[in-house]
Structure 1
Amino acid sequence: MESRFLGIAELTDVPDVAVVVDVMRAYTVAAWAFARGAERVVLAESLEDALALKARRPDWLTLKDGPPAPGFDLVNSPALLRGTHLAGRTVVQKTTAGTVGALAVKDASLVLCASFVVAGATAGLLRERACERVTFVVTGGGGRAEEDLACAEYIARRAGGGAVDAGPYLRRADASRSAAELRQGVREGSTPEDVALCLEPDRFPFAMVAGAEDSLMVLRRVAPVDPPPSA
């Protein structure tokens, strides 16, 4: 499999297959939403769009970065989300980087959204669909976020087949600026406990595939038939 690693601003064409990576925290949070029973995650283009969707569908739950705010039900924190019961619910998510990255490649033939918690299943789906060329979109830090790049490289290695030791990739992510800011409480709407939850490789046995549904970009969980071994 041929892989390239680009930031959102570096995307100059429509990739055939895109894996959008946001470890801390958008696609760890989305995975937890599915694990707590959510049926789908709608990726909103703006906070205003998220609120407009909520106005039309009051039963949908809205989620954003930062502190709690009027009109939003959830914040972008796996630790604060994991106790929430979401069975059958639709979650509308808008974040600073993760959702932006997915919408930037919405015309790709296959869009996966990923983090460490779904890394093995994501790699398994890439193998299952015999993807030859994959663009990994590193969403954080203008395409330089170490946690996202480490996760992207880990998934790429695992998609190539054979066992891969997650340790070196997790240590890079753990030493990242994002991890430090979460531990220090710099980012509102998060908790230091988020770091450990973002660094659990293969916690969930599903990948997350984004596609157009009724003019919306919608994320759904998909379980690969045979995810590759971790180590």
Structure 2
Amino acid sequence: MDHHFVGIPELTSVPRIAVVIDVMRAFTVAAWAFSRGVEKIVLASTESEALALKESHSGWVALKDGPPAPGFDAVNSPGLLRSRDFAGRTLVQKTTAGTVGALAVANAPLVLCASFVVAGPTARFLRTQDGGPLTFVVTGEGGQADEDLACAEYIGQLVSGGDVEAAPYLQRARTSRAAADLAAGRRSGCHPDDVELCLEIDRFPFAMEARQEESLTVLRPVAVRSP
């Protein structure tokens, strides 16, 4: 399947198939949230919208980038989320890059959100689809974040059917600016294990698809057959 890579600012039309990449940390966190029992994730455009959605729906919880804040139940950190129990809950997520990218392509016929922890299942899901080309939305640093681009390129190679070694792509992510910032504690609302958790290849057996449900953009896990 033909594919190309764009940053959020380069989105000038609605893609046929969009894969939105945020490795550190939105779509690693989303995968962890599903593993901790979340039923669905509603993507919010602003923190105010996230809080309003939470307040208007009994039992919903909200998550954001940065440090803890009043009204929010969690922060955008896989290390801080992995011990939480969200069985049956709806999570409202607002982040700096990942959710912005997903909302920018929300009207595409097929939207997947991905990171290394769901890379293989995402590629296998994409191989079942027709009607490309495939647009990878590299969300970090205006499309230049090496951890996101490495993940996008890795998934693209998997979709093309090649025998792909993950290690070089993971090493690029490990030495990225985002990884350095997380490791040094320069980003608030993080855990010392966040970088390593973001680099666990195929930790989870599902892909994540975003669809329009009424007026909301909703992310749900999609079971994918094992290779």
Indicate the TM-score class for this superposition, using the shorter chain for normalisation.
over 0.9
Quick one: which amino acid aligns to residue 194 of structure 2? D
Distance 1:225 1:130 in 2: 18
Deviations 1:146-194 (A, max 9, x none): 0000000000000111421000000000000000000000000012210
Q: Which residue pairs with 2:51 in the alignment? A: 51
| 1:84-103 correspondence runs (5 A) | 84-103=84-103
Say if 1:129 and 1:225 are closer, same or farther in 2 by CA, change over 3 A: farther
SS at match of 1:149: helix
Distance 2:85 2:32 in 1: 11
Q: Which residue pairs with 1:128 in the alignment? A: 128
Is residue 14 of structure 2 the alignment partner of residue 33 of structure 1? no
| 1:213-228 correspondence runs (5 A) | 213-227=213-227
Alpha-carbon deviation of 1:131? Answer: 4.9
Q: Which residue pairs with 1:150 in the alignment? A: 150
- TM-score, length of structure 2 as denominator length: 0.98
Contact 2:117 2:204 in 1 (8 A): yes
**RMSD of aligned Cα (Å):** 0.9
> Where in structure 1 do 4 or more consecutive aligned residues deviate above 3 Å?
none
Is residue 56 of structure 2 the alignment partner of residue 66 of structure 1? no
Identity %, equivalent residues: 65
Distance 2:219 2:21 in 1: 14
Contact 2:16 2:132 in 1 (8 A): no
Q: Which residue pairs with 1:197 in the alignment? A: 197
SS at match of 2:113: strand
Of 35-44 and 155-164, more deviation after overlay is shown by: 155-164
Gaps of 5+ in 1: none
Deviations 1:8-56 (A, max 9, x none): 0000110000000000000000000001111000000110100101110
Distance 2:27 2:11 in 1: 20
Distance 2:223 2:161 in 1: 18
Contact 1:128 1:224 in 2 (8 A): no
Gaps of 5+ in 2: none
Is residue 118 of structure 2 the alignment partner of residue 118 of structure 1? yes
Quick one: which amino acid aligns to residue 39 of structure 1? E
Distance 1:26 1:160 in 2: 26
Quick one: which amino acid aligns to residue 135 of structure 1? T
Deviations 1:173-226 (A, max 9, x none): 000000000000000001221000000110001000000112100000001235
Contact 2:37 2:86 in 1 (8 A): yes
Contact 1:21 1:152 in 2 (8 A): yes
Distance 2:126 2:40 in 1: 21
Q: Which residue pairs with 1:106 in the alignment? A: 106
Is residue 188 of structure 2 the alignment partner of residue 188 of structure 1? yes
Quick one: which amino acid aligns to residue 152 of structure 1? A
Q: Which residue pairs with 1:169 in the alignment? A: 169
Deviations 1:81-135 (A, max 9, x none): 0000111110000000000000000110000000000000000010011353100
